[in-house]
Structure 1
Amino acid sequence: MRAQLQGLLDIGDLQGAKLLLVPVQPVDIAEAIEGLPESMQAIAFRLLSKDEAIEVYEYLDSTVQQSLLEEFKRQDAIEVVEQMSPDDRARLFDELPAKVVRRLLAQMSPPERQATALLLGYQEDTAGRIMTPEYISLKETLTVEQALERIRSEDKASEIVYYLYVTDPSRRLTGTVSLRELVTRAPETPLTEIVNRDTIFVHTDTDQEEVARLIQRYDLLAIPVVDRETRLVGVVTVDDVIDILERETTEDIYTLGGVQSDRDNYFQTSLVTVARRRVVWLFVLLLTNTVTGTIIRSQESVLQQVVALAAFIPLLTGTGGNVGAQSSTVVIRGLNTDEIRALGPLQVILREARAGLLLGSILGTVATLWAAWLQGSWLVAIVVGISLIAISLLASVAGSSLPFLFRRFGLDPALMSAPFITTAVDVLGVLIYFNIARRILRL
């Protein structure tokens, strides 16, 4: 559709472009607009009706949202921002310059300004920051008939109606009622008879990843958010959780690759910024790899006596780095998904140690036979095989234990990334290799 839309805009057929967008879902329109040249994005967006434009705007990437705001007249910008849902508006304001945010807040209506300020007052990446204050709450003193009447009067002011939250006179959350229960019960039935008291909820300072895990674990479409006094202040919906999971997974993948992550689109970022993010880890790896070179130079006397040992250094370090990277990857993923909570750190490390020993034995046997065939020396081959077993064991233990250590100190386990593990195992692997060689070859 993007190609068709761009073609119509190129020839100035605005009416044709407008008709093209009529039967299309808002999320697909947003994707098409994002793919247009920047000069055409505002033109395409202005072809939408007011109600459709608001919905499409919420699906756009933050960089496109910002560029469109700059194209709008001041009043147009206020109308768009005013009609956004509070949680999407807060997410947009996180990306905008502080000066622009202050200007927009000053021109918004008092209720919308208050709702936005409430969300922006919470810490980033918490339930309070991503929740929406648009929900329906029912007093527990109501009957079914009174509750249905309240729903009819407020359904347009709420983002969700499939969950109805019951509160006491102090706005404390006491339970939930499903819409199905309401429509199947007698009108005079008190809510206290049908309310579900076993309610899953989170606090405003709960980490957004924990919110996502709870919604996934209990198959919820939304989860209520309460303050320290258990007063209901908002809800987090499943569509927000999907966005959270995507962002967090992307961030972890970037970190695992030794790339400093950010909230903006990596492939729309300038090359200077990309280089700045990636060069930090590369400098660290460059410096640590010089340690490996120093160790090898210090073993010149050994290499001079048995030159064949030098040929297997890349094989040993490369294999050790790969084994360690595999262990760290599965452990970090297990930590993020809570799949290894039942096992505990010690069991996980022991399991990976056994896996490393098994892998090392298999690879070591093959490497021993390969080295004997290449060099014609069984002593050198045995050194290579034993070293590979030891390095694989070390790499598995390091790759599985260091993520737990990082988490213990409050750091992101993903920082224990594949490049870091590879470099650390390189250094230790070379030391192990030469020490085994000295003992077996009696050098």
Structure 2
Amino acid sequence: MQPQTVETITSLIQEGEFFKLKQVLRDFQPSELVALIEEEDEREQLIIFRLLPLKLATEVFEYLDLEVQKHFLDNLAQDKMADILNQMSPDDRTTLLEFLPANFVAELVQSLSEEERRVTLQLLGYPEESVGRLMTPDYIAIRETWTVQQVLDYIRQHGGQSETLSMLYVTDNAGVLIDDIRIREFLLSAPTARVRDLMDRRFVQLTADQDQEEAIDVFRRNDRNALPVVSDQGILLGIVTIDDILSIREQEDTEDMQKLGGSEALDEPYLATSIWGMVKKRAGWLVILLIGEMLTTSAMHHFEDDLAKAAVLGLFIPLIISAGGNAGSQATSIIIRAMSLGEFRLGDWWLVMRRELQSGLLLGLILGVVGSLRIVLWATVVDPGYFGPYWKLISVTVGFSLLGIVLWGALAGAMLPMLLKRLGLDPATASAPFVATLVDVTGLIIYFSVATAVLNGTLL
């Protein structure tokens, strides 16, 4: 840039010829304006930048030194800077925000449009499943030195843009959260009372990097409509409201239900998912389950000689394996749901195992009695002689097999999700069909082992 050009600009500023200066600046390239602004003093920098049209100002702002950008943010009108920030490319905006203090960032993020805010929070480094992706900067922050009347006046002036007014957040001069107070406390207090008089400094908060599932548990335990989100330094960044949490809860429940059914979670609603997309989500698990069931065939082949000697045993194979699979599926569904609700911790695995041992024994006993009675009634009333002379031993075999298989199914169905959780995997992948397939294979081994012990020397 020519020295006389800089002198001309400086002269126009000193003479107050701002309209003429505005016309002159339109002819400059963004790179030239950046060089011009960085050569001027702070006062002249602000004047030049104010006269630029929005599109040109945005292009220039992106290339300015970070210190100059911060100077503009501190001194220019909030609405102008909000327009510029919304127009900036996301990566340049993120670079600027990472350079600024956390409390200043919280104020700037609030000025962004909803879409730009979402992109900015993503680029600021908050993980995809973190609370930082859910938070909104639309809240009411107050000071402990204010009176109740000042708070109510402030709410009337700024409350229209707040996501919720049920809770107000007290921050210090650095933006650090020091308390939260329900609005009813202000409505029931004297106008001259101070905020500090209503504070107990006991509050619940979330951190921006915290997992969304943890946030769901915090909401449930504390019965709140909204919770504040803070940085590692305790600075209030935003709030998360119950409607966002309910939406995440619905998504996670939907994913768990789809996984429990033996399918990958759908990325879109059912009718919006293409047929090919549906096939891809379901085919993988079906192939895995088919391979698993092939092991059942291998197990039956191993006991082929026993089946040849006592073909009657084959009649009860569907009954045996379905009972074990059903027991395992029940346990899996109950345990996964209890884990998602935080009803027990992984350290309580022994308590869970003990309960499933007890319930599995009782359930196995009930089904064993029913299965045995079916054989007894058939052999003595419906079709005497159908099971041959050893029908009593067959009845005992089926009864004890059902007892063992149901017990094993309950234990496997309960422990497998907990094992996956311990390994850092999603417990919902221990789907009901997967557990049922696992129990099918082992159930056959239990069944023929019991049959060999009971029928040895008779049918076998």
TM-score normalised to structure 2 length? 0.70
- Structure 1 runs of 4+ off > 6 angstroms? none
Equivalent of 2:349, from 345, 349, 355?
345
- Counterpart CA distance in 2 for 1:325 and 1:173 is 46
Once the two structures are TM-superposed, the CA of residue 147 in structure 1 deviates from its matched residue by 2.2
Equivalent of 2:308, from 293, 297, 304?
304
Distance 1:382 1:164, change over 3 A: same
Gap regions ≥5 residues in structure 1: 1-81, 91-107
Matched to 1:120, the amino acid is: Q
Q: Secondary structure, in 3 states, of the residue corresponding to 1:220?
A: coil
Whether 2:418 is the aligned partner of 1:416: answer: no
TM-score normalised to structure 1 length? 0.72
Distance 1:162 1:287, change over 3 A: same
Map 1:213-252 onto structure 2 (within 5 A).
213-252=217-256
- Encode CA deviations 1:17-46: one digit per residue, 9 max, x unaligned: xxxxxxxxxxxxxxxxxxxxxxxxxxxxxx
Whether 2:294 is the aligned partner of 1:293: answer: no
Whether 2:442 is the aligned partner of 1:428: answer: yes
Once the two structures are TM-superposed, the CA of residue 362 in structure 1 deviates from its matched residue by 1.2
Q: Secondary structure, in 3 states, of the residue corresponding to 2:112?
A: helix
Matched to 2:448, the amino acid is: F
Gap regions ≥5 residues in structure 2: 1-81, 91-108, 380-385
Q: Secondary structure, in 3 states, of the residue corresponding to 1:344?
A: helix
Distance 1:109 1:237, change over 3 A: closer
- Counterpart CA distance in 1 for 2:301 and 2:346 is 46
The CA RMSD measured in Å over matched residues stands at 2.4
Kept after mapping to 2: 8 A contact 1:322/1:422: yes
Equivalent of 1:325, from 308, 326, 329?
329
Map 1:20-31 onto structure 2 (within 5 A).
none
Once the two structures are TM-superposed, the CA of residue 170 in structure 1 deviates from its matched residue by 1.5
Match of 1:271 in 2: 275
- Encode CA deviations 1:231-289: one digit per residue, 9 max, x unaligned: 11111111112212211111110010011113311232111111110111100010011
Match of 1:439 in 2: 453
- Counterpart CA distance in 2 for 1:197 and 1:386 is 62
- Counterpart CA distance in 1 for 2:151 and 2:211 is 32
Q: Secondary structure, in 3 states, of the residue corresponding to 1:111?
A: coil
Whether 2:405 is the aligned partner of 1:391: answer: yes
Once the two structures are TM-superposed, the CA of residue 197 in structure 1 deviates from its matched residue by 1.4
Distance 1:109 1:166, change over 3 A: closer
Distance 1:117 1:273, change over 3 A: closer
Q: Secondary structure, in 3 states, of the residue corresponding to 2:142?
A: strand
Q: Secondary structure, in 3 states, of the residue corresponding to 1:247?
A: helix
Once the two structures are TM-superposed, the CA of residue 152 in structure 1 deviates from its matched residue by 2.2
- Counterpart CA distance in 1 for 2:156 and 2:119 is 28
- Encode CA deviations 1:84-104: one digit per residue, 9 max, x unaligned: xx9xxx9xxxxxxxxxxxxxx
**Bigger Rg, structure 1 or 2:** 2
Distance 1:110 1:211, change over 3 A: closer
Kept after mapping to 2: 8 A contact 1:115/1:133: no
Once the two structures are TM-superposed, the CA of residue 159 in structure 1 deviates from its matched residue by 1.3
Whether 2:127 is the aligned partner of 1:123: answer: yes
Once the two structures are TM-superposed, the CA of residue 302 in structure 1 deviates from its matched residue by 0.8
Count residues with an aligned counterpart: 340
Distance 1:193 1:109, change over 3 A: closer
Q: Secondary structure, in 3 states, of the residue corresponding to 2:258?
A: helix
- Encode CA deviations 1:124-155: one digit per residue, 9 max, x unaligned: 22211111111111122322233223222211
Whether 2:190 is the aligned partner of 1:186: answer: yes
Once the two structures are TM-superposed, the CA of residue 342 in structure 1 deviates from its matched residue by 10
Kept after mapping to 2: 8 A contact 1:144/1:185: yes
Q: Secondary structure, in 3 states, of the residue corresponding to 1:320?
A: helix
Q: Secondary structure, in 3 states, of the residue corresponding to 2:238?
A: strand
- Counterpart CA distance in 2 for 1:300 and 1:138 is 79
